[in-house]
Amino acid sequence: MNIVNINLQLQSVVNVEADVLVVSLFEGVTELSGAIGAVNEALGGQITALIETGDLTGKFKQTRLLYSFGKLNAKRVLIVGLGEAVEFSSNRARSIAAIAAKSARELGASTLATIVHGAGHGDLQVEQAAQVLAEGTLLGLYQVKNLKKHQAVAKLTDLIVVESAEANQAEIAKGLEIGQIYAQGTNFARDLINEPANILTPTRLAELATDVAVKTGMGITVLGEAEMRDLGMNALLSIGQGSDEESKLIVLSYYGNPDSEEVLGLVGKGVTFDTGGYSLKPMAGMENMKTDMGGAGAVIGAMQAIGQLKPKANVVAVIGAAENMISGNAIKPGDVVVAMNGKSIEIVNTDAEGRVVLADALTYAIEKCKVSKVVNAATLTGAISIALGRKLCGMFSNDSDFASEVKDAFHSSGERVWEMPLVEEYQAAYSSNVADMKNSGGRDGGSITAALILREFVDNTPWVHLDIAGVARDQEGGGDLNPKGATGFGVRTMIELALAQK
């Protein structure tokens, strides 16, 4: 991850020293004022000339680069278009920040100075505008860690946020701090998910979660296979039994409101590599099955941020971590396992392993951690990306009020979700002659039947299932905020959900 220092300076944009200075323009604006007006005046009307010739319109994501030739302390000026003011939003502000930061990096800049874009427009207040500026910058600059012997090191190390009004300074400083925490949590999740599976084993994932707990003052419990066996967690254990790596149950606990009995549960699927087992996956793209712990990565990244922000809420994270491998000990189609809650599962597809892992993780969160409502995040089904593509997360719930609460968190975070139905008639698809249920209902309605299977393990606890299989990895890396690889999807939403708890 690219480390960028963010500093707030109270001064005029014409005086700030930087390799690149970023100012912005709404579409259709011809009378320049504020920061861009000051820069235009210092440059002898160059920006006005661009507008008059039609070379600069302020269209969303449009960029124009100017050189100051000593008329400013900044060496270059990058103008970014914000689009129409009525359409401006926090998501657009994040994208603008990311585009500007990546442009500065491509120019070889070491220092990037910027104003806070669009504060006061589209319900975007000063603090929120500063927050999304920090988020967009750090998310856009993220680079996948690699093991190359020779690798280029990005020069961009400093972001200077310039503000001339002293009255805004405190709000901007607070927003920048919060935005950094959100982005660092997301980028940490990306690091976890991008890590090769021979390095990020269930044991290593537990070690990294422990580091988060120690640094933030949270509680941490890690159960090994013997302890899980004593608890009857045979579902989770069955998925990892074909691997030489020991399965783990990881529990992070944050109690910021000890006077409340309300506890939010965050449960993550942590299959650190998924071969599909004997229901073997196709060879093409199997290397990306290290992403199958994307839910776990998102939960740990969110808990890191929650531990830093310290909301008045109680949050417990439970992660079931295992490798789904093939060996003489691996689970086989037709085997039956009994989960922690006593329900039996016929394994008809060893590649439908995530719901089997989550069966015990959800039960543990509800029975042992006493969570009062629970969200699980999992790269659960390929079917969800057939239904929704790779820009939307699928959401299922047994409780409309809690579903609305989670959707509000999505709205605040800027991540995208679509609620899917739980169709009761589809339960017949996973009925079994030899067990309480099968672990798969077949191809038709695959995301819905998977969600229905998970519902078997939450009883009446308010529950939301997030199927992030389509959004956990950006295959092309073409998004403003996402490089090629893990996205860290869900981190920002889970942070927002924790902050909204009462």
Q: Please identify every residue annotated as catalytic.
A: 281, 355
Q: What does the pLDDT read at residue 497?
A: 98
Domains belonging to the chain, first-starting first, are 5-165 (3.40.220.10), 186-499 (3.40.630.10)
Instruction: Write the pLDDT tens digit of every residue in 388-411.
Output: 999 999 999 999 999 999 999 999
Instruction: Write the pLDDT tens digit of every residue in 56-96.
Output: 999 999 999 999 999 999 999 999 999 999 999 999 999 99
Among the listed ranges 60-64, 67-71, 361-365, 478-482, which one has the minimum average pLDDT value? Answer: 478-482
Q: Provide mean pLDDT across the span 148-152.
A: 77
Residue 269 annotated as part of some ligand binding site: yes
Per-residue confidence band for 2, with pLDDT thresholds at 50, 70 and 90? low
Residue 225 annotated as part of some ligand binding site: no
User: Per-residue pLDDT for 153 more than 90?
Assistant: no
Measured N-to-C along each axis, helices 294-309 and 491-499 cross at an angle, to the nearest 10 degrees, of 40
User: Per-residue pLDDT for 148 more than 90?
Assistant: no
| Distances from the Cα of 253 to the Cα of 73, 83, 213, 445, 464, angstroms | 49, 43, 8, 35, 19
Q: What does the pLDDT read at residue 121?
A: 81
Q: Please tell me the distance from the alpha carbon of residue 208 to that of residue 252, in angstroms, as a whole number.
A: 11
Q: Are strands 393-397 and 417-419 parallel, antiparallel or unpaired?
A: parallel
Q: What does the pLDDT read at residue 194?
A: 97
Q: Provide mean pLDDT across the span 16-32.
A: 97
Per-residue confidence band for 477, with pLDDT thresholds at 50, 70 and 90? confident
Q: What does the pLDDT read at residue 1?
A: 46
Q: Are strands 373-378 and 393-397 parallel, antiparallel or unpaired?
A: unpaired
Q: Provide mean pLDDT across the span 464-473.
A: 98
Let me know how long the chain is: 502
Q: Provide mean pLDDT across the span 355-363.
A: 98
- Residue 372 one-letter amino acid: S
Top-confidence range, 144-148, 318-322, 476-480: 318-322
Residue 425 annotated as part of some ligand binding site: no
Residue 351 annotated as part of some ligand binding site: yes
Residue 211 annotated as part of some ligand binding site: no
Q: What does the pLDDT read at residue 303?
A: 99
pLDDT top residue among 370 and 478: 370
Mean pLDDT score of the chain, rounded to an integer? 96
Q: What does the pLDDT read at residue 354?
A: 98
Q: What does the pLDDT read at residue 285?
A: 92
Instruction: Write the pLDDT tens digit of every residue in 321-343.
Output: 999 999 999 999 999 999 999 99
Nearest to 20 by CA among 62, 79, 89: 79
pLDDT top residue among 145 and 270: 270
- Residue 120's CB is within 10 A of a number of other CB atoms, namely 12
Instruction: Write the pLDDT tens digit of every residue in 187-232.
Output: 999 999 999 999 999 999 999 999 999 999 999 999 999 999 999 9
Give yes or no for a contact between 344 and 436, defined as CB atoms under 8 angstroms apart.
yes
C-alpha 17: how far from its chain's center?
Answer: 34
Helices and strands (H, E) in the chain, number of each type: 14, 19
Q: Which residues pair with 64 in a beta bridge?
A: 79
